[in-house]
A and B are shown apart, each in its own frame.
Chain A
Amino acid sequence: MAAETASRGAALAAEGRLPAERVALVDLLDRLLAGGVVITGDIVLSIADIDLVRVSLRALLMSVRESQPLDTGVRHEPSRL
């Protein structure tokens, strides 16, 4: 059993490698909008500075950003859309 598990695990790890163009955008945005080094000061701008007043990206950011309370792993809050 252990051997099988290990080999399947290895296969899983191997297949996890995806070319950049096949990475799901939503997974990427999780990381690029809620992760990464945030630098302030002396910059022209960053997403953090933009007052996202409108529509789709605002919803997108709200859905990705951690500034919203993360109280459980289980809920979606589509009402914001």
Chain B
Amino acid sequence: MAETGTYLYAVSGESGRPEPAVLDALTGVAGTPVRAVAHGGLVAYVSTVPLEEFGEEPLRRSLEDLDWVGATARAHHHVVETVAATAATAPVRLVTVYSGEDKIREMLDRRHDDLVAVLSRVAGRREWGVKAYTPRVAEPAAAGAAGRDEGEAGRGASGGGRGAPSGEPGAREGGGASGGAASGVRAEDGASGRGGVGPGTAYLQRRKNSLRDRDSAWRISAERAEQLHAALAAVAVDSRRHRPQDPQLSGRDDLMLLNGAYLVDDDRREEFAATLEALSEPGIVIELTGPWAPYSFAAPDAPAHERGDRDGG
């Protein structure tokens, strides 16, 4: 028989754990059945998986395959969702594989207090995701910090933006002689006898102004995102900001202002949604996702210990 490992999806308390029939009907990663391992008042949800697929070497390859990752993530998520539908649940990070069930029990002993703290913190609460976008400004440097560096200050830097070969003509041509760009400057060509502004300087000035405008637009957007996040966080028990999503993964080219996760009491979800609605404004697209199992609030960097201590003491 092929070697196997024990794949761990999530941990819950005894209370509200799914009926055996519900688990029997579940399919986990790689099409495997899912079972519960109860130990010390906690329940771990696991599958036996072939190490041919989940051993280290095969995983190295599989993890390069977005289709495999997607299918595995969805299967993992499906199990977590099923458990979280009825029980306070601590989801476990994708692809956590033990050598056997005995190791799962040892872990439940070793991490018992941490897990109990997480479970008590997420009980009666759900995670909601809020993403906010603003349409990307059609200037090449608008997307990234690269273009915002003070050092840029010149014409040569137009490539600094986010992979934008369709660079803005004004920046490309430089020298102030660009055809369609801001008018009025060309008139200065050869007429700099005033000792005033030469074409190069004018260009730089214009460029600087444009960068300043963009910078302030960027700053305003960032401030809006901060305000939105703060208002939502005020209704939530806890909040966390994920990194902005990679446009290649999200398929969205809009500038992502906020990728937030909020742990919200179930009886405040209306209030949360209303807060979100009230903060909607033109120029910002807001998307709500969820409710999620509390993925973003089970990680060790979440202040589980502090909160556990404070709540419990």
Please indicate the chain A residues that have their CB under 8 angstroms from the CB of B94 in the complex: 32-33, 36, 47
B93 near A76 (CB under 8 angstroms)? Answer: no
Please indicate the chain B residues that have their CB under 8 angstroms from the CB of A37 in the complex: 11, 90-93, 111, 115, 118, 298-300
A73 near B91 (CB under 8 angstroms)? Answer: no
B299 near A9 (CB under 8 angstroms)? Answer: no
B243 near A68 (CB under 8 angstroms)? Answer: yes
Nearest CB in chain B: distance from A4 CB, A:
9
A76 near B97 (CB under 8 angstroms)? Answer: no
Interface size (B, Cβ < 8 Å)? 93
Inter-chain contact count A-B, CB under 8 Å? 243
B249 near A29 (CB under 8 angstroms)? Answer: yes
A74 near B274 (CB under 8 angstroms)? Answer: no
Q: Is B241 interfacial (CB-CB < 8 Å)?
A: yes
Give the contact-size bracket for chain A.
35 or more
Interchain CA distance A43-B49 in the complex, whole Å: 13
Q: Is B32 interfacial (CB-CB < 8 Å)?
A: no
Please indicate the chain B residues that have their CB under 8 angstroms from the CB of A17 in the complex: 290-291
Please indicate the chain A residues that have their CB under 8 angstroms from the CB of B242 in the complex: 30-31, 34, 64, 66
Nearest CB in chain B: distance from A32 CB, A:
4
| Segment with Cβ contacts to A, from B57-65, B178-186, B188-196 | B57-65
A73 near B64 (CB under 8 angstroms)? Answer: no
Within 38-81 of A, Cβ neighbours of B (below 8 Å) are at 38-39, 41-50, 52, 54-57, 59-60, 63-66, 68, 70, 72-79, 81
Nearest CB in chain B: distance from A50 CB, A:
6
**Max chain A CB contacts within 10 Å: which of B54, B115, B276, B277?**
B277
**In this complex, what residue of A is CB-closest to B260?**
A73
Please indicate the chain B residues that have their CB under 8 angstroms from the CB of A66 in the complex: 242-243, 301
B: which residues have CB within 8 A of A?
A: 5, 8, 11, 51, 54-56, 59-60, 63-66, 69-70, 73-74, 76-78, 81, 90-99, 103, 106-107, 110-111, 115, 118, 127-129, 131, 143-146, 162-163, 218, 221-222, 225-226, 229, 241-251, 255-259, 261, 269-278, 288-292, 295-301
Not counting A54-B64, A81-B248, a sample of 16 additional A-B residue pairs whose C-beta atoms are within 8 angstroms of each other reads: A16-B291, A23-B289, A26-B249, A27-B131, A28-B74, A30-B129, A32-B73, A35-B91, A36-B93, A37-B90, A37-B93, A47-B94, A47-B96, A50-B60, A52-B63, A59-B248
A: which residues have CB within 8 A of B?
A: 5-6, 8-10, 12-13, 16-18, 20-21, 23-39, 41-50, 52, 54-57, 59-60, 63-66, 68, 70, 72-79, 81
